[in-house]
Every structure is written in C-alpha cells, then in structure tokens.
Amino acid sequence: MALVVQAYTFMYQYANSWRPSPKKQSDALKMGVLSAAQINPAAAFHPAETHPGVIPYAIASRDESTAQSTAKKYGFKKHYGSYEALLADPEVDFVYISTPNGLHYEWASKAIKAGKHVLLEKPFTSNGAEAEAIVQEAEQAGKILMEAFHWQFHPAAHLWRSILESGQYGQIISTDAKMTASPGVPHGDIRWQFDLAGGSIMDATYALSFTRYALRAALPQKILSAVARPYDKDPRVDAAMNATMLFNTQQGQSVHSRVYTDIARSWIGGVVPRIWELPQIEVETEKAVILFYNAMMPHLYHYIAITDKSTGKTEYKKLYSGGPIWGDVETSGGKGGKSFWSTYRYQLEAFVSKLQGKEPACWVTGEESINQMKTIDQIYEAAGMTVRPGKV
C-alpha cells in the first residue's frame, strides 16, 4: 500500500543518512529545491548527501520560517521565502520541483526561463497539453528536464524488463497493474483538490507507468473501458479508477492491460487496512505469469515471481545493484552502484550524469512523459470525467 511504503522509505533514507557523506567534487552541481514537501528528504535531500557531485544549496518555501528550519536541518547553505527568489539565485544549477501537481508546469516553466535544469516530480504536469509545452520549452532553452519516475532507475526494474524481453517466456498477452492507499489519503490533502490536478490516476500514476514501461508503449491503441469511483466531497476527482486498454508492443502485438488505482481503499470489515497491497504489476506471457511486487519502492523490498504455466512452479528473483543496465557502469559509488541506494539515489546518479555531459545509464524522455500524461487524459475522458485543468 503506497502510503505505508512511502513511510518506510522515509525511515530507510533517514537510516542511510548516517552513512559517511563523500567529499564533494570541486565542480559539484548546486541543487535548489522548490517547496518543503514531505517527499523531499527521501527524494532529494538524502540522495544529494551521498552524491559527491551534488551540493544541497538552496531551498524555497512560501513560508520563510519553514524554509529556514528545513535548510538548517538538512544542511542547505541558503533558504528563501519565495520560489522566485531561489530561481533568481545565479548559483543554483538545477532545481528539484515537488510542488502540488497543478503547479508543476508553472514552476518548471519559470525555472527553465531562469536558466535552470529541472528534475520534476510525477505526475509530470496536469495534462498532456502542458506536458508538450514544457518539453518544448526545455528543448528551445537548451535545458535538461526529466520527470522523476524514480522506480525506473532501480536495478530491479531493469531485471524485470530484461526477463520480459528475454524471449524465454514468449510474448506478452496481458498486464494488470495496481496501486492503492489503505489507509487512504486524508481528507483535505492536496491530492483531493481538482484545481491542483488531484485524483487517483494522477497520484497513483505509477501503475500506468509500470504498464507502459513493461511494453515500451507509447499511447494506447484504444481505451476499452474506464470506470471511476468519484470522491464523495468532489465528484470531479476520482478516488479510484479502473481502466482497461489495448496497447501495441514494439513487435506489433496487441496487449490487454488493466490499471487499477485507489487512494481511499476500503478496509476489510471496516477495521483492517490493506497494508500488504504494495504497488505491483502482473504480466501474463505465453508461458508464464510474472509478478513484480513493490515495483514502486524496490529498494525497501521486492520480488519478481515467475510462475511457469505448464508446471505451476514459481521462481523468485531480486536485485539491488548492478544488473542489465548498471552492471558495467562506473558510478559515483563504484561499479554498478550500491545495494543500499534507493530508487531516488539511482535516479539522481543518472540525472547528474546527464548534466555533466555524460550519457546516463537510463533516462525518462520527454516523449515518454508526454505520452504518460496524454494517456491519463484519455482515461479521464473515457470515464466521463474532466481532464485536469492546466495553464496552456
């Protein structure tokens, strides 16, 4: 279940923050952070501490006292009481943006105009039109922009996809991805706000990402069905979404895919939260059923279960460093990375490599992010709901 996994990640990152920090390189990049969001320590602060090429330089919050206390706690050199002030600082090389969804485009655009590279939290933008616009703005400005789909940078994700593409288990027939929150997202949280691009398929965008990553898919061939359970306090917002789609693989095969997201998952008997429902995707191939359990935060715990259809036997695999992509890469932590690195730390490794003019081990392209947001738009439309409002 997503919120429990996130909480464990915060504790995991805190524990690893006690490891000795490496000496910073003389040409280390100065990181700025827009917002004091709860995800920041796990997603940006602690990964930056362990990267010799990154200095936690400045943080901005709309409440200056919050920015000041956060800067003191996490060792930032500067703090600002406005996002504009941070973007005006010429020392900042790149910014990590973790504002509410509906503000992603606005502040990414302003950061690019201020000459900063951008690591932008997911979901990338409020809708597909904003995604296309911000990618174009970054390209025209010559700035690097990437959506922070951190799970895709972990060795376990690469192992999983290499298994799917090995040919050993035949072609993919169907996929079934799930991401739920039980206990649910509290009432009043920004994820329930329509004007801030809230909603289940937005917040749990990982489930769709698992699907498209497995298939190397662009846009769906067709949305077969999309049924939403509206939020009881605002029917424009989806508390849950159940969508089925047809995707084409790169080999031209049609694959039936189901995506289920729920940010207010019911408790069993009204008393037992479903905390064991970690984000996952099951892929059926001609010869096997392959489950990637806890695909969102595999650094905490995960397994890839491969069940042979003919024998019923299940084989389990796990991977925390090295692997098909990182295995031969000399990282800032040694060849193949470190087994204690989180998904966010692997992500930062790739992002910094790109900023340093190197070829990153893996990347989330602008086209992939555009297609992700356009698919979400299509799901909302098929469900009879309004696409999240945007600035373009």
CB 341 within 8 A of CB 319: no
Q: Which residue numbers are catalytic?
A: 122
Judged by phi (left if over 0) then psi (alpha if -120 to 50, else beta), residue 197 lies in left
| H or E element, residue 292 | strand 288-293
Type of residue at 269? G
Q: Is 310 helix (H, G, I), strand (E, B) or coil?
A: coil
Rounded-to-integer distance, Cα 109 and Cα 125, Å: 11
Rounded-to-integer distance, Cα 249 and Cα 182, Å: 33
Do strands 254-262 and 280-285 pair parallel, antiparallel, or not at all (unpaired)? unpaired
Residue of 209, 166, 181 lying closest to 295 (CA atoms): 209
CA 333, 336, 341, 342 dihedral sign is: positive
CB 199 within 8 A of CB 309: no
CB 216 within 8 A of CB 248: no
CB 66 within 8 A of CB 37: no
Q: Is 111 helix (H, G, I), strand (E, B) or coil?
A: helix
Q: In the structure encoding, which two tokens stand for residue 249, read together?
A: 């693989």
Q: Which residues pair with 234 in a beta bridge?
A: 231
